[in-house]
Chains A and B, each alone.
Chain A
């Protein structure tokens, strides 16, 4: 009996040794459950390459307004953009001497101005409207370099709202109003009525305000820094009385 027991014991030990030694060679058991990665996660390939607003108009169109200005000699049109919930920025030459100002938004809503102020140097004006605008323009902090793309949103000749693409050309001395100040020269197609239109940079922020143009696609714009100075110091604004 003793040899048999020895045989069995030795066999067990030997088998255990062999099994243990072969652990590195034998394949392992499969996982008890499927790993989570068995069902791959897939990212949606759907992409909407449209406006960033819910109604299909761009944020830049939302803040664009059309002005109808009545003065002592008649009336005229201009463009502008919403700067806060009740104020609009446009050109001084658009509203100077106005007796009555009406504002129309991109969707046809009409508002009446209750006050207007003009800048002392730059061709800029601020119009206060009896309204509560939901969308307001953001002002850019960047500096334009030659070739930078820009977008001008306004109402040429008082007609339909348009979006014109262009690019920054250079900074030059104002030769239209002869203020002696530097303005931005932009290559873009604009017309009378675009005066006061916002110039947007690549980020959709206001980088300038259109004030002049010619038939050779030259467009002049006051840099947004002029507007920032006026907004930072409201005492710089001047009254805009009607001469009649």
Chain B
């Protein structure tokens, strides 16, 4: 017999068995939904009553929702944790670099402080030496100027003494022949020259005493 004869094959029988919602697996008689005990029937009084247990489909959707949320939370936690690890490591390295930099700055500061102290010591020595040298320069300049002043004073004194000597030489000439030079007499001339020479001498000794 061929399948075309209308005889049910084994496959057909299995297929018929899987559609038990429609056919009775025992009798093969057709069963309507109304025949299922406890199933609500449309258009009947039982259909208006609320079901006592949720249907399997919403329950599955709810499970998927919770699973999805849990997955999201887990993924976010993983991402945030990974980020925090990276950040922590980054800041740890940064702090380490800062500490190294701090040590470097402390070493530089210590060196600078030592250099500054040494420089200040040298500066104090140089300032002291410069002050001494300047005082000495001022003293030497003053001594030289005073020496030149004395030289000028001595020059004046010598010139005066030369004049004194010239006048006394003139007196000697007059004394040898007084009538030719001073008809009024020699006493007045001698007194004048003596006074002049005395003044020169006094001035000279005063100058020497002042030095």
- State the A residues within 8 Å of B (CB): 3, 6-8, 10-15, 18-19, 22, 26-31, 34, 38-40, 42, 44-46, 48, 50, 55-57, 66, 68, 70, 74-75, 77, 102, 104-108, 110, 155, 158-161
Is A19 touching B140 in the complex (CB atoms < 8 A)? no
Is A26 touching B87 in the complex (CB atoms < 8 A)? yes
Is B144 touching A15 in the complex (CB atoms < 8 A)? no
Q: A7-B71, A30-B93, A40-B105 are in contact. Are A102 and B137 (CB under 8 A)?
A: no
Q: Mark B140-173, 1 if CB is under 8 A from A, else 0.
A: 1110111011001100100000000000000000
Across the A-B interface, how many residue pairs have beta carbons closer than 8 Å?
126
A70–B148 CA distance with the chains assembled, in angstroms? 12
A100–B127 CA distance with the chains assembled, in angstroms? 39
Is B148 touching A102 in the complex (CB atoms < 8 A)? yes
A45–B173 CA distance with the chains assembled, in angstroms? 84
| Complex: chain B residue closest to A159, CB-CB | B142
Is B68 touching A66 in the complex (CB atoms < 8 A)? no
Q: A31-B94, A38-B101, A68-B152 are in contact. Are A19 and B145 (CB under 8 A)?
A: no
| Complex: chain B residue closest to A56, CB-CB | B130
Is A11 touching B72 in the complex (CB atoms < 8 A)? yes
The answer to the question of B181 belonging to the interface, with a C-beta cut-off of 8 Å to chain A, is: no
The B interface, classified by DSSP as helix, strand, loop or mixed, is helix
Is B105 touching A11 in the complex (CB atoms < 8 A)? no
Partner of A104, one of B64, B79, B141: B141
Partner of B90, one of A30, A38, A77, A158: A30
Is B141 touching A7 in the complex (CB atoms < 8 A)? no
A107–B28 CA distance with the chains assembled, in angstroms? 141
| A130: min CB distance to chain B, Å | 17
| Complex: chain B residue closest to A19, CB-CB | B79
Segment of B6-14, B35-43, B49-57, B116-124 in the binding face = B116-124
A-B contact pairs, 7 of them (CB 8 A): A8-B71, A27-B87, A34-B97, A74-B156, A104-B141, A158-B149, A160-B142
By size class, the interface of chain B is 35 or more
A19–B86 CA distance with the chains assembled, in angstroms? 14
A17–B126 CA distance with the chains assembled, in angstroms? 73
A6–B139 CA distance with the chains assembled, in angstroms? 104
Q: A19-B76, A19-B80 are in contact. Are A39 and B101 (CB under 8 A)?
A: yes
| Complex: chain A residue closest to B101, CB-CB | A38
A160–B139 CA distance with the chains assembled, in angstroms? 7
A42–B51 CA distance with the chains assembled, in angstroms? 83
Q: Mark B64-80, 1 if CB is under 8 A from A, else 0.
A: 10011101111110111
| A61: min CB distance to chain B, Å | 9
A57: B residues at CB distance < 8 A: 134
B152: A residues at CB distance < 8 A: 68, 70, 75
User: Which 7 residue pairs spanning A and B have beta carbons closest together?
Assistant: A14-B72, A108-B141, A18-B76, A30-B94, A15-B75, A11-B71, A56-B130
Besides A30-B93, A107-B137, A161-B138, 14 other A-B contacts (C-beta < 8 A): A3-B64, A11-B68, A14-B72, A18-B79, A31-B94, A45-B116, A46-B120, A56-B127, A68-B145, A68-B152, A74-B156, A77-B149, A108-B140, A158-B149
A6: B residues at CB distance < 8 A: 64, 68
Partner of B98, one of A15, A38, A56, A102: A38
A7: B residues at CB distance < 8 A: 64, 67-68, 71
* Highest count of chain B CB atoms <10 Å: which of A10, A22, A28, A106: A10
| Complex: chain A residue closest to B132, CB-CB | A56
A77–B141 CA distance with the chains assembled, in angstroms? 14
Is B148 touching A68 in the complex (CB atoms < 8 A)? yes
The answer to the question of B205 belonging to the interface, with a C-beta cut-off of 8 Å to chain A, is: no
Is B137 touching A48 in the complex (CB atoms < 8 A)? no
Partner of A68, one of B75, B84, B90, B149: B149
Partner of A48, one of B78, B79, B94, B123: B123
A89–B152 CA distance with the chains assembled, in angstroms? 23
B94: A residues at CB distance < 8 A: 30-31, 34
Is B105 touching A10 in the complex (CB atoms < 8 A)? no
| B131: min CB distance to chain A, Å | 7
